[in-house]
Amino acid sequence: MKEKNLTVPILVVSIAIPLAVAFLILVPGVKINVGFNTRSLPLFHAILNSSTGILLLASLYFIKNGRIKAHRAANLTAVTLSTIFLVSYIVYHATNPSVRYGDLDHDGILSASEKLQAGNLRYVYYFILSSHIILSGVIVPLVLFTLMRAFQEKFDKHRKLA
């Protein structure tokens, strides 16, 4: 498997995912019915992401201790959970309106009094949200190129990205 053969698909996927998510979040009225209540998905997302984080820490421990098979299994499980998260995240945003930070009455409108109640924490929230958006755009190609190099057994390049 040649690296250049997968570079274009990785880049296409890396661009398509954030565009799809942005479309679902930013374009009002584009909501679908999946036949079940998706409002509990954020809890599911937190569980998936926490589990992925733990697996990545375990993966680091495994590779530092020469346990290559365990390292591989932890990473493949982490990528699987992240893929499930991504699909679920898209389903959530395709089925629910965007939530505005500080919208206490959940009417989709952030009134002056709600802004006042949210206070300066809104700025902290928006800073974290902005960094999250930027980093999520960077992590997809990083993970895919790292995986590709591991599967191609180009471990020096894999190690540099990982």
CA gap 103, 97 in Å, rounded: 13
Domain range list for the chain: 37-96, 104-161
CA gap 152, 54 in Å, rounded: 25
pLDDT digits (tens, 9 = 90+) for 28-53: 766 778 888 998 999 999 999 999 99
Average pLDDT over every residue of 140-159: 90
Q: Is the pTM of this model over 0.85?
A: no
Q: Which residues contact 73 (CB under 8 A, 6 or more apart)?
A: none
Residues 69, 72, 75, CA angle at the centre, nearest 5°? Answer: 150
Closest CA to 35 of 95, 89, 93, 97: 95
Closest CA to 160 of 67, 137, 149, 151: 149
pLDDT digits (tens, 9 = 90+) for 92-112: 988 888 778 888 888 878 888
